[in-house]
A = this chain, B = another copy of it.
Amino acid sequence: MGGDYAPGMVVQGLDHALARLDSAQFLLFGDENQLAPLLRRHRRVAQVSEVRHTDAVISNDARPAAALRTGQSSSMRLSIDAVARNEAEGVVSAGNTGALMAMVKVVLKTLPGVDRPAIASVFPTERGRSVILDLGANVECTADNLVQFAVMGEVFARKVLGLERPSVGLLNVGEEQFKGNDSVRGAARVLQASLLAIDFHGFIEGTDIGAGTVDVIVTDGFTGNVALKTAEGVAKLYTRFLRESMTSSLLAKLGGLLARPALRKMRARVDPRLYDGAMFLGLNGVVFKAHGGTDAVGFASAVNVAVELVADRVNDGIKEDFACVNRDLQNDPDLMVHSNG
């Protein structure tokens, strides 16, 4: 029931998603009076779906703590409960991000070795695609948190982006070792230690995000959230400036007409709907958050990524890696970091 266009875009999105799925089954939590007519229109979805009725919905402006306390029978909470009971392998929601994070932390809990889950997203770069985390789950992060994000992001890049040896960079205000705050410097020291078997590039700067200098960008939730939303805003600004230029004169209009297929291809390359939403990494269960304003195409892409996260056993990979990390750290106590170190 979450998202500006739910539940219509959810059912329509599942229909789109099914085109790319061999087999998948869905539990739909929400108002059956709204869902029934939608499922009649999308028979393919109806065949693989089961509706679990509830009237309660978490509103977009609900504060996380309140949602957790009073939203026990909400569509959001019931869908998470289904994952906790192993009735479902993952949950996709376009609802209130803060409420979703609060609920999954309490209900699903973090994987062994993970102190705090992180929000991660994939985005287009000059070199292809990269993943960035955290995007807002943790506004303040210790060095330990950042190291854990690096491990989780690396597993994701290997398993889902299919990279053999993804490179990992720590977002900072400069590349020199002495730059930044205690958290990034502490995390860099641990990641540089070869034991972790991560291809650690070192510090990167904001310009490296678009350049695709590394496959995995690690940062605290405050900086990551601002950086990704800034990128989104600049992309929009450029699209607008381009449209204005291409309609500023008769010649430009004609040029734009001739170049239209090429420009359309360019737009497809950066179509925000293909990079829609974010994964919550580090939890016992797959959790994918679609954008609140997403449409059926965006929701379908969210569902497809969630299915991939399940199929690629990303959480098992994270668990295995943390087992290794913890063994290494026990063997070499110098690597234990604390945010003030």
Cβ of A254 under 8 Å from chain B: yes
CB contacts (< 8 Å) of A208 on chain B: these are: 233
Closest to A263 in B: B245
Measured between alpha carbons, how far is A235 from B257 in the docked complex, in Å? 24
Measured between alpha carbons, how far is A227 from B233 in the docked complex, in Å? 11
Cβ of A211 under 8 Å from chain B: yes
Cβ of A323 under 8 Å from chain B: no
CB distance from A213 to the nearest CB of B (A): 9
Interface string of A169-183 (1 = CB under 8 A from B): 001011010101100
Tell me what chain A mostly uses at the interface: helix, strand, loop, or mixed.
Answer: helix
CB contacts (< 8 Å) of A125 on chain B: these are: 237
Cβ of A207 under 8 Å from chain B: yes
Interface string of A15-53 (1 = CB under 8 A from B): 000000000000000000000000000000000000000
Cβ of A324 under 8 Å from chain B: no
Cβ of A195 under 8 Å from chain B: no
CB distance from A143 to the nearest CB of B (A): 15
Cβ of A210 under 8 Å from chain B: yes
* Segment 214-264 of A: residues with Cβ below 8 Å from B: 219, 221-223, 225-238, 240-242, 244-246, 248-249, 251-252, 254-263
Cβ of A106 under 8 Å from chain B: no
Asked if A230 meets B255 with Cβ closer than 8 Å, knowing A63-B178, A242-B266, A245-B265, the reply is: no
Closest to A220 in B: B222
A252-B248 in contact (CB<8A) = no
Cβ of A87 under 8 Å from chain B: no
Asked if A233 meets B209 with Cβ closer than 8 Å, knowing A173-B225, A180-B222, A181-B139, the reply is: yes
Contacts from A to B (Cβ < 8 Å): 61, 63, 124-126, 136, 139-140, 171, 173-174, 176, 178, 180-181, 205-211, 219, 221-223, 225-238, 240-242, 244-246, 248-249, 251-252, 254-263, 265-266, 269-270
Give 28 A-B contacts (CB < 8 Å), ordered by A residue: A139-B180, A180-B222, A206-B225, A206-B226, A206-B229, A207-B230, A207-B233, A208-B233, A209-B230, A211-B233, A219-B226, A223-B226, A226-B226, A227-B227, A227-B230, A230-B231, A231-B231, A238-B238, A242-B266, A245-B262, A245-B265, A245-B266, A246-B262, A252-B259, A252-B261, A252-B262, A254-B255, A259-B259
